[in-house]
Structure 1
Amino acid sequence: MPAPYVVAVSRDQAHRFSKVPVDSITLVAGIGVLGDAHAGTLVQHRYAARKDPNQPNLRQVHLIQSELFEEARERGFEIGPGDLGENVTTAGIGLLTLPVSTLLDLGGPVLRLTGLRNPCVLINRFKPGLLKVVLARADGTPMGRAVPDEPRPEVPPVIRKAGVMSVVERGGDVLPGAPIRVTLPEGPHAPMEPV
């Protein structure tokens, strides 16, 4: 497997499902991506902000693994950088397996992982049936609808593949091709939950 790196970067000033790939993005510590609709110290996600607009923004920067694009392609879906609303598309790193508070150095700027993106029905509105690619039971059963966060012992756990969320610890410019250096938090490690 190649060393982890940034494949693409994207942003959008408006709250749309997809983001526009650009030549570079600027990360601002404690805020997010300069010029992106999800930047801010307080929650910017529209659904979460309606519930409580004063909660901290744990979703400043969305990262997604480019390996998901190949999995989607094998199931008949063409998707690429920015399509699922991510700011940073990565390669060569198991984003979904990293623990909470992992630090990712993107060639200078640093992100701290806060949790998993919880896929919602908007994915199916973007491309009907795509939710089954990014949401499945641990036994491999694809799911065609979003699920609540509460686990139920009688049902296999949910695997969310729509990327991870993070906050900016150290700002700076991020460009495609930048190496990604991973620093795990001190143990014990906690698995990421949806944020």
Structure 2
Amino acid sequence: MAKIIAVCRSDNKGVPKQDIGEGLFREEYGLENDAHADCCSHRQVSLLAMESIEKMRKLGLDVKPGDFAENLTTEGIALVSLPVGTRVAVGAEVVLEISQIGKECHTGCAIMRQVGKCIMPKEGV
């Protein structure tokens, strides 16, 4: 069964997000009080599977949910296999639509510098 492991936000772009436990998602905006929330963006919420984070841990990185700047860390759902346009229910009231597979790392991505690769460009949604 698929589940949400963490809900993460940050005040600024380009930094890891902190797990806040729960949050308010606003339609056509994103996670309230998150730096990436924006009414005019095609991508207001980002997701990453815990299974992807585990891959980076196996490379020796000490990483946790939010370190890749994702808003939702999931478990038990193959996010990268979902076609663009797929709608994903999150709880009883939130429905997200997959608008893009992969999320470009920002310039100076610490994980990219540390190990030479990052999972967000291929596995972030």
| TM bucket, shorter chain | 0.7 to 0.9
Q: Assess if the C-alpha contact under 8 Å between 1:69 and 1:78 holds in 2.
A: no
DSSP-derived class of the 1:23 partner: coil
Partner of 1:113: 98
Cα distance in 2 between the residues matched to 1:86 and 1:133? 13
Deviation at 1:122, TM superposition (A): 3.2
Give the TM-score of the pair, scaled to structure 1. Answer: 0.58
Q: Which has the larger radius of gyration?
A: 1
Cα distance in 2 between the residues matched to 1:26 and 1:130? 34
Structure number with higher helix proportion: 2
Cα distance in 2 between the residues matched to 1:36 and 1:89? 15
* AA at the equivalent of 2:3: Y
Counterpart mapping for 1:152-163 below 5 A = 160-161=122-123, 163=124
1:77 and 2:61 correspond: yes
Cα distance in 2 between the residues matched to 1:10 and 1:41? 19
Deviation at 1:16, TM superposition (A): 3.5
Q: Assess if the C-alpha contact under 8 Å between 2:111 and 2:117 holds in 1.
A: no
- For residues 110-147 of structure 1, give each alpha carbon's deviation from its aligned partner in whole angstroms, at most 9, with x where no partner exists: 10110023333433x34633442527xxxxxxxxxxxx
Q: Assess if the C-alpha contact under 8 Å between 1:28 and 1:34 holds in 2.
A: yes
Deviation at 1:83, TM superposition (A): 0.4
1:102 and 2:64 correspond: no
Runs of at least 5 residues in structure 1 that lack an aligned partner in the other structure: 43-56, 136-158, 165-195
* AA at the equivalent of 1:8: A
Partner of 1:17: 15
DSSP-derived class of the 1:116 partner: coil
Partner of 1:30: 28
Structure number with higher strand proportion: 1
After superposition, the Cα gap between the structure-2 partners of 1:89 and 1:38, relative to the gap in structure 1 and judged at 3 Å, is same
Runs of at least 5 residues in structure 2 that lack an aligned partner in the other structure: none
DSSP-derived class of the 2:6 partner: strand
Which one scores higher on RCO, CA 8 angstroms, separation ≥ 6?
1
DSSP-derived class of the 1:61 partner: coil
Which residue among 54, 59, 71 is the counterpart of 2:43? 59
- For residues 29-72 of structure 1, give each alpha carbon's deviation from its aligned partner in whole angstroms, at most 9, with x where no partner exists: 01111111111212xxxxxxxxxxxxxx1110010000012111
Partner of 2:108: 122
What is the root-mean-square deviation of aligned Cα atoms in Å? 1.9
Consecutive aligned runs of 4 or more in structure 1 exceeding 3 Å deviation: none
Q: Identity rate of aligned residues, in percent? A: 31
Aligned length: 123
Cα distance in 2 between the residues matched to 1:113 and 1:65? 14
Cα distance in 2 between the residues matched to 1:133 and 1:38? 19
